[in-house]
Structures are given as structure tokens and as C-alpha cells.
């Protein structure tokens, strides 16, 4: 007789796993809120700007990238541990989520390759207007948002969705802290670039 195997959920896993899931979720949520606070400070008080950081050896650089790493690992862990526990459990979420993840990752990596690691880290470099930067001023952020949308659909977890939505909000707001800094660095060349290329692509007007 063939045996059937149920997909484990947070309710059927050992007690220690739900506890670990809650701890990881709270820690990741705290890190994401802290990252959001960095953006708020940078927007409200530009003289205390945290993002973009003033340099690679600054505490702002270390803080933002440490929190970013914690958020990435935590979001992946929450999605796996809380896998498919929400109401939308249709199989169609798998191809849709996978396509969005692959597409978003490809766009983000294209942006990193063209812009370079130095500028991607929030540090000053030359103004880039080619590659994906011909279509959007923030291809890495657009790619990250698409990737997060795909992960939320694929994981089908309410906890993961909360974290994905916060991360997407961060990527949507980050350009507003960067643009005054970029305008100061590149002057009229950046203003002309902004006139030609939209912030998030042709579908979203500035």
C-alpha cells in the first residue's frame, strides 16, 4: 500500500521549530524596522545621513550592511520554516513565484554588474547611464522588489509577507535619500539624467 506524506507546517513541526521561527521572525522584523529608521533619519535630517553612508569605514556603512545581511538571512529562514502556511496554497504560486524571483534577481544582478560593487554599496563613483540604467534609475531596487514579491508568493507565509512588504517599502523609499546626495555629487548631469529616465521605470512616473 502506498504511503502518503503530509507537507510539514509550523503546527506539525516539533515544538522547538515554531519557537525558533518566532525568534527569527521577531529578530528580522526588528532589523527591518531599524533599517527603516535609518532611512527616516536620512530623509528628515540629511546632516545625520546614514544612507548613503559617508564611507566604507564609517559606522553607518557597517550598520546598514549588517542589518541588510540579517534581514536577508532572516527572511529566507522565515519563508522556509513557515512554508505554505497561509491560505493561498494553490500550485500556481510555484511557477509564478519562481519566475518573479528569477526575473528580479537577474535585473538586480545586471544592475550590480553595470554599476559595480563600490557604487552598489552606497559609495561615490561615476554616474552610470547605460545598461538597465537606461530604463530605470534604480534597476537594483526594482529587481529586489520583484524578487521579494516572488518570494512572498512562493513561500505563502503571512510572516514572510510581512517581512517582504517592509523590505519592498525600504527599496521604494531608499532612492529619496540617495537623490539629494547624487544631485550634489553630479549636479546638472544628474538633473538631465532624471529628466530622461524615470525613477522606477516607464510604468511609474516620478
Q: Looking at residue 1, what is its pLDDT?
A: 47
Predicted local distance difference test score (pLDDT) of residue 88: 83
Q: Tell me, yes or no, whether 7 lies in a domain.
A: no
Domain span including residue 109: 16-196
Residue 206 lies in a domain: no
Q: What is the pLDDT along the chain (206 residues), one digit of tens a residue?
A: 455 555 555 555 555 878 999 999 999 999 999 999 999 999 999 999 999 999 999 999 999 999 999 999 999 999 999 999 998 888 999 999 999 999 999 999 999 999 999 888 888 788 999 999 999 999 999 999 999 999 999 999 999 999 999 999 999 999 999 999 999 999 999 999 999 999 998 777 67
Is the full-model pTM beyond 0.75? yes
The answer to whether residue 115 sits within a structural domain is yes
Widest Cα–Cα separation across the chain: 74
Domain count, the chain: 1
Instruction: Tell me whether residue 111 is in a domain.
Output: yes
Q: Which CATH number covers residue 114?
A: 1.20.120.1630
Contact indicator for 157, 85 with CB cutoff of 8 Å = yes
Is 172 contained in some domain? Answer: yes
Least Cα distance to 62 among 74, 46, 48, 50 occurs for 50
Residue 201 resides in a domain: no
Q: What is d(CA 156, CA 56) in angstroms, rounded to the nearest whole number?
A: 37
Q: Which residue, 134, 135, 140, is CA-closest to 116?
A: 140
Residue 141: is the preceding peptide bond cis (ω within 30°)? Answer: no
N-terminal to C-terminal alpha carbon distance within the chain: 62
Residue 131 belongs to some domain of the structure: yes
Residue 179 counted as domain residue: yes
Amino acid at each position: 500500500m502506498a504511503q502518503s506524506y503530509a507537507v510539514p507546517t509550523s503546527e506539525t513541526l516539533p515544538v522547538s521549530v515554531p519557537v525558533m521561527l518566532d525568534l527569527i521572525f521577531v529578530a528580522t522584523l526588528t532589523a527591518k524596522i531599524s533599517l527603516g529608521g535609518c532611512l527616516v533619519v536620512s530623509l528628515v535630517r540629511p546632516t545625520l545621513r546614514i544612507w548613503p553612508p559617508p564611507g566604507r569605514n564609517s559606522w553607518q556603512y557597517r550598520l546598514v550592511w549588517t542589518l541588510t545581511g540579517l534581514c536577508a538571512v532572516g527572511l529566507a529562514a522565515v519563508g522556509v520554516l513557515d512554508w505554505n502556511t497561509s491560505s493561498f496554497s494553490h500550485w500556481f504560486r510555484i511557477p509564478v513565484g519562481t519566475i518573479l524571483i528569477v526575473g528580479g534577481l537577474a535585473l538586480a544582478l545586471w544592475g550590480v554588474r553595470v554599476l559595480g560593487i563600490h557604487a552598489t554599496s552606497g559609495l561615490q563613483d561615476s554616474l552610470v547611464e547605460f545598461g538597465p540604467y537606461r530604463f530605470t534609475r534604480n534597476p537594483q531596487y526594482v529587481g529586489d522588489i520583484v524578487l521579494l514579491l516572488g518570494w512572498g508568493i512562493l513561500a505563502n507565509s503571512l510572516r514572510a509577507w510581512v517581512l517582504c512588504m517592509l523590505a519592498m517599502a525600504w527599496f521604494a523609499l531608499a532612492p529619496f535619500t540617495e537623490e539629494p546626495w547624487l544631485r550634489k555629487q553630479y549636479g546638472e548631469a544628474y538633473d538631465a539624467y532624471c529628466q530622461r529616465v524615470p525613477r522606477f521605470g516607464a510604468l511609474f512616473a516620478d
